Each structure stands twice: as structure tokens, then as C-alpha cells.
Chains A and B, each alone.
Chain A
Amino acid sequence: MVTLSWSVLIGTLVVLVVCCTALLVATVAVRLSRARRARRHDERTAQVKPLVLEVLTAEDEEVAPACEAVAALPDTLWPTAETFVLAAFDSVRGEVRDALVQVLIQRGTLERALAATQSRSAVRRARAAEVIGLVGHVSGRRGLVRLLSDPNIEVRTVAARALGQIGDPHLTSILLDSLRPGSDVPPSVVGTALLGSGETDTAALEAGLAADDEVVRLTAIAVSAELLVLATARAVADRGLTDPSVTVRVQAARALARLGGAWAVPALAAATDPTEASVVRVAATRTLGEMPFPPARAHLALLRDDEDPDVRRLATAATPSRETAGGDR
């Protein structure tokens, strides 16, 4: 009995020692491998970084030869250079960026990313969308539009963001359409992408104001106001202030502070009608208070005795004396 216990104990100890040794060897091997990889990465970065910085700091006739040096990097160094260039795109714009985009296209970065949009891995598809957005070339548009219907929400979101980086006004309707029910792409991402485009398609924004989905209408109003798309201002007043959704009516009333002229005063005044929702009345009163037009002051004077304390407060703050307001009338 005792002999059996000893042999079990010794056997267990031997197994433990072997396991610990194997674990130690594996840990050391992994660490050595990581250190070797890191050293190799540092060595490659040290070779690549000065060449890319040379392009990023080049001026005029220096740009082309500097780009040629980067484009001529051997295949072993190219992945490091590509990573470095793409990371720099977050911070740098201008002619040197445009020149590096051509280098990336020449070395097949865009082509590979477009191919990766068909990958079975959602992570790869998302990364591909990110790369296409960073490159920002119009030829990446079709691949990104396809990814807006990707089964993975993260991929759809990255694709929407990347489309904004391409900056094509023709994408306005496509981006607004990506807010359709079930898509789940955050409206903030689509809104930011549209703002990032800089230029938008006015007709698409107007169509967005009449869309069935409330989120689309809200985004169209927000983008119109942020980008000061004056061509949609009357549609914001006409459709937005009479929208079935209270949230949209509030957003439209506030958007008119940026978009509206004296012509918008009657529509805003109508939005302060006592039958209207309180939040809409408050938003319209606030906007009227920010307008310098006499008809706006005149209407605010009428609201100084309103039953709603918020409307009353805003109207009083905007028209400090009845005499002044009356005089304006």
C-alpha cells in the first residue's frame, strides 16, 4: 500500500517537473520569438521611416523622386512602409498625401483592399474598408457601397465612415439610404461621413427630408444646417416644421437659426402656436430670439405673456422692453 503511494507520488512529481519545464521552454521561446519579431519590425521601420518622412516633408520638385524611392522599396519592406503611410494619412493632407496615394495605388494597396472586401472574415472586410477610406480614392467607392449591405454591423459602420473620407457628393443619397430600418449604422457615423464629404448633393438632401424614416429626415436636417446648405433651407422650413415627428419639428426649428432668413419667420411663428408641442414651441421661440429681423421681434413680443414659462422666458430675454418690440413692429 505504502509502496504504491510512493510510486504514484514520484510519478506525479515527474509529470509536474516535465510540464513545468515544457511551459518554461514554451514561454522563453514565445518571448524570444516576440523579441525577434519586434527587433525585425524596428529594423524595417528604421529603414522605411526616413524615406516616408522624406516624402511627407518634400516640396515641389522634391516630391516625385521621394515618392519613387518609397515605391521602389522591396517587397520585404513594403508592408511596413504601407502601415506607416496609412497611419500618417490620419494626420497629413495636401500634395504630399496625394502623391503617396498614387504610390499606394501603384503598389497594389487599393487593389488588395478591394479584394479583401470579399473576404469571409468580417475583421478583414472592416480593415479593407478602413484602408479604402484612408486611401480616399474614388475607385474604392463601389467596394465601400457594397459593404454598406454587409451582414456585419461593424463592417457597415466602417464602410459608411470610409465613404465620407472619399468625399464625393454623389454619395449623399447612398449614405442617407444606409440609415434604412434594420441597417443599424449609427446616424452619427452617417452624419459625420456626410459632413466629412464637405460637399453634398442638394437634391438627395431634399429627398432625405421627405423620407419615410425619421432618422433619415433628422440626419438630412442636421447635415443641411451644419454645412449651411441654403438650397434646402425652405424645404427644412416647409417640411421639417410640419413633420409628423415632434423630434424632427424641433430639429427643423433649431436648424433654421443657421439656415433661415426673414422669410422663415412666419413658419417659425406658426410653430409657436399654443396647439403645438411645448418642445417645438420652445425651439421655435429660441430660434426667433436669435434672429435680428423686426417681424421676429414683433412675434416674440406677443409671446412675453405666454402660458409656457420657457417660451415666456425666452421671449422676454429676446425682447427686453415692450416699447422696443412695439417700435419694431
Chain B
Amino acid sequence: MTLGKVLVVDDNHDICDLLALKLTNAGFDVTQANDGITGLELGLNGSFDLVVLDVMMPGMSGIDVLRRLRDAEQTATTPVLLLTAKTQERDVESGFGAGAGEYMTKPFSPRELLVRVKAMLARSQS
């Protein structure tokens, strides 16, 4: 019995592995993608409970992936946590504007990320 299905999308393989391991250890069923296009395909077809999305990725940015997820009926309300090195107020604004439920900036605390993921899932299930 897992705590939920989480999709992690980050073009940095090491960070993706780190996030996946942290969430797997906590009891989540984690799927990884290393670019926006693969992430979008998996996100649209995988019925995930939550998506952790890097913003700056080659090909398709996390914001674009998020917008496409929001446009699709089956993922319109899937909680999305944006994880990014972009710290400017306008970046945060554009992330929330695109439909993110949470916005975390790098460097991030893996422990805090786990807490936020759990809180987001609890909110979406209540």
C-alpha cells in the first residue's frame, strides 16, 4: 500500500534520483522523467496523485508542462509542486499563475519537500 503515485520531472538526473529516493523511502510510488515532453506524456497518461516539476528544462519548460496539464481534463486538478532555481517574485507569480499548488526554490531541503508533498496530498484528498 503506497501513500500515492508521484511523478518527478527534472532534467538533472542526480536531483531526480534524489527526489525519487526520498519519496520512495517515505512510501510513495514514484515515476521519473528527465525532460518536459516525457514528463507531460507520463503526466497525461499515468493518473498521478501529485507531480513534482522542475521549471527550467530543455525542450519544454516546467511552466509549459504545467499549463498543458491544467488544460487536460484528467489532470486539471492534479496537485503540482514546482521546484526551481528561479527565485524572483515574478517567477513565483508566473508559477502560481500557471496553476502550481506549491513553489519551492533550489537549494531545497529534501525534508521540507516531503512535508509539503504530504500536505498537498492531504489537502487534495480532503
Interface residues of A (CB under 8 A from B): 49, 53, 56-57, 59, 84, 87-97
Chain B residues in 8 Å Cβ range of A87: 14
Q: Is B123 an interface residue (CB 8 A)?
A: no
Question: Are A93 and B22 within 8 A (Cβ)?
Answer: no
Q: List 25 A-B contacts (CB under 8 A).
A: A57-B18, A57-B25, A57-B110, A59-B111, A84-B14, A88-B14, A88-B15, A89-B107, A90-B106, A91-B85, A91-B106, A91-B107, A91-B108, A92-B107, A92-B108, A92-B109, A92-B110, A93-B107, A93-B108, A94-B109, A94-B110, A94-B111, A95-B109, A95-B111, A96-B111
Cβ contact within 8 Å between A93 and B111: no
Distance of B83 from chain A, by nearest CB (Å): 9
User: Taking the nearest CB of chain A, how far is it from the CB of B43, in angstroms?
Assistant: 22
For window 16-43 of B, CB contacts with A under 8 Å fall at 17-18, 21-22, 25
Q: Once the chains are docked, how many angstroms separate the CA of A84 from the CA of B14?
A: 9
Q: Which of B66-100 contact A (CB under 8 A)?
A: 85
Smallest CB separation, B111 vs chain A (Å): 6
Measured in the bound complex, the distance between the Cα atoms of B22 and A84 in whole Å is 17
**Can you list the 8 inter-chain pairs with the closest CB atoms, starting with the nearest?**
A94-B109, A93-B107, A57-B22, A91-B106, A57-B21, A91-B15, A56-B18, A53-B21
Write the nearest CB–CB distance from A164 to chain B, whole angstroms.
13
Report the Cα distance A95→B110, complex, angstroms: 9
State whether A90 and B107 are in contact (beta carbons under 8 Å apart), knowing that A53-B21, A57-B21, A57-B22 are contacts in the complex. Answer: yes
Q: How far is the CA of A92 from the CA of B109 in the complex (A)?
A: 6
* Distance in angstroms between the alpha carbons of A44 and B109 in the assembled complex: 26
Contacts of B110 in A (CB 8 A): 56-57, 92, 94, 96
| Given A59-B111, A96-B110, A91 and B17 contact (CB-CB distance below 8 Å) | no
- Chain A residues within an 8 Å CB radius of B18: 53, 56-57, 88, 91-92
Rounded to whole Å, the gap between the CB of B118 and the closest CB of chain A is 13
Q: Please tell me if the beta carbons of A94 and B21 are within 8 angstroms of each other in the complex.
A: no
- B12 at interface by CB-CB < 8 Å: yes
A97 to B107, CA, bound (A): 10
- Shortest CB distance B28–A (Å): 12
Query: In whole angstroms, how far apart are the Cα atoms of A84 and B85 in the complex?
Result: 19
CA distance A59 to B108 in the complex (A): 15
Given A53, A59, A89, A93, which contacts B17 in the complex, CB threshold below 8 Å? A53
